């Protein structure tokens, strides 16, 4: 069967949009492994710049990973119980809190950062430590964890499951760890991937909160583009992509657009 011209024009449109989005990324990655960007790829391919990035910026990579992991632990320990309590309470207060939790997503990162600096900037040791950035990241990513877990909680009849477990003699902690947590695993996983991805890539907040000694990867990236050879900035981007792409892929597989998470998801997913 001959495909109609409409099909080809749609295909061409889709491909050109994809190209528009992807070509700069590819160019940047190529630049990161090119001997001399101004001469072009024919000047030779090298990993020199990548090693240079590790020499200059490995601190920022480790700090980003450290903050992402600690941020994940914080959102897990705070966010999962919060979601559980919110799902359990049916009153208006719970709904209001739920809305408030989304505020950090709606408010620009810069504003949150300023608020943090105004509130806590006076505590010098805190201000100059990476914990300051961590607080910003936890604030910013918490809603995503809470939302993801809430979505799964509201898609299973967890109250009846808990009543069932209680009727069999299980106390609160036995129920929480043995019944609730295993049955909201998918939500926790989706939330966790989201939190790690967002934390590693976060720039707005972090740029305001960082000090010269507490630079994360995206801040270092901005710095290298501003002050280094283009090849180094590009190689840096390459490193960043290698770190973040597997996370994004995992997010697509386990994250929001799967089974019961997608049914309820209204707030958490759309921001991405």
List of residues contacting another protein (CB under 8 A):
156-157, 160-161, 163-171, 174, 179, 182-183, 185
d(CA 228, CA 234): 10
- Closer CB to another protein, residue 27 or residue 93? 93
b/e map of 169-180 (b: 16 or more CB within 10 Å)? ebeeeebbeebb
Minimum Å gap between C-beta 261 and another protein is: 15
Closest approach of another protein to the CB of residue 80, in Å: 16
Nearer to another protein, 64 or 155 (CB): 155
Is residue 194 within 8 A of residue 71, CB to CB? The reply is: no
Tell me the closest approach of the beta carbon of residue 177 to another protein, in angstroms: 11
Q: By C-beta, is 65 or 166 nearer to another protein?
A: 166
CB of 87 to another protein, least distance (A): 17
How many angstroms separate the CA atoms of 208 and 186, rounded? 34
Where would I find the H helices in 89-129? 92-106, 109-120, 124-128
Cα–Cα–Cα angle for 206, 124, 120, rounded to 5 degrees: 60
CB closer to another protein, 158 vs 236? 158
Identify which of residues 74 and 179 has a Cβ nearer to another protein in the complex.
179
- The tally of CA atoms less than 13 A away on the side-chain side of residue 50 is 15
Distance of CA 33 to the CA centre of its chain: 27
CA angle 265, 266, 269 (to 5 degrees): 70
Nearest approach, Cβ of 183 to another protein (angstroms)? Answer: 5
């Amino acid at each position: 069967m001959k495909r109609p011209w409409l099909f080809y024009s749609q295909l061409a449109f889709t491909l050109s949009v994809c190209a528009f989005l992807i070509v700069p990324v590819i160019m940047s990655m190529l630049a990161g492994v090119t001997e001399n960007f101004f001469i072009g790829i024919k000047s030779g391919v090298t990993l020199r710049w990548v090693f240079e990035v590790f020499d200059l910026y490995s601190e920022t990579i480790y700090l980003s990973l450290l903050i992402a992991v600690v941020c994940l632990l914080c959102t897990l320990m705070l966010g999962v119980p919060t979601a559980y309590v919110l799902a359990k309470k049916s009153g208006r207060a719970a709904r209001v809190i739920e809305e408030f939790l989304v505020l950090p997503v709606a408010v620009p990162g810069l504003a949150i950062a300023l608020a943090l600096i105004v509130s806590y900037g006076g505590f010098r040791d805190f201000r100059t430590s990476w914990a300051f950035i961590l607080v910003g990241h936890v604030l910013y990513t918490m809603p995503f964890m809470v939302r993801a877990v809430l979505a799964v909680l509201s898609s299973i009849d967890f109250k009846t499951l808990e009543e069932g477990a209680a009727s069999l003699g299980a106390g609160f902690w036995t129920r929480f760890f043995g019944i609730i947590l295993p049955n909201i695993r998918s939500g926790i996983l989706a939330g966790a991937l989201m939190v790690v991805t967002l934390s590693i890539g976060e720039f707005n907040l972090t740029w305001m909160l960082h000090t010269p000694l507490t630079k994360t990867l995206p801040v270092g990236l901005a710095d290298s583009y501003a002050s280094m050879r283009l090849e180094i900035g590009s190689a840096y981007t390459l490193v960043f992509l290698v770190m973040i792409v597997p996370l994004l892929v995992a997010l697509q597989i386990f994250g929001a657009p799967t089974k019961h998470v997608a049914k309820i998801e209204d707030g958490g997913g759309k921001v991405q």
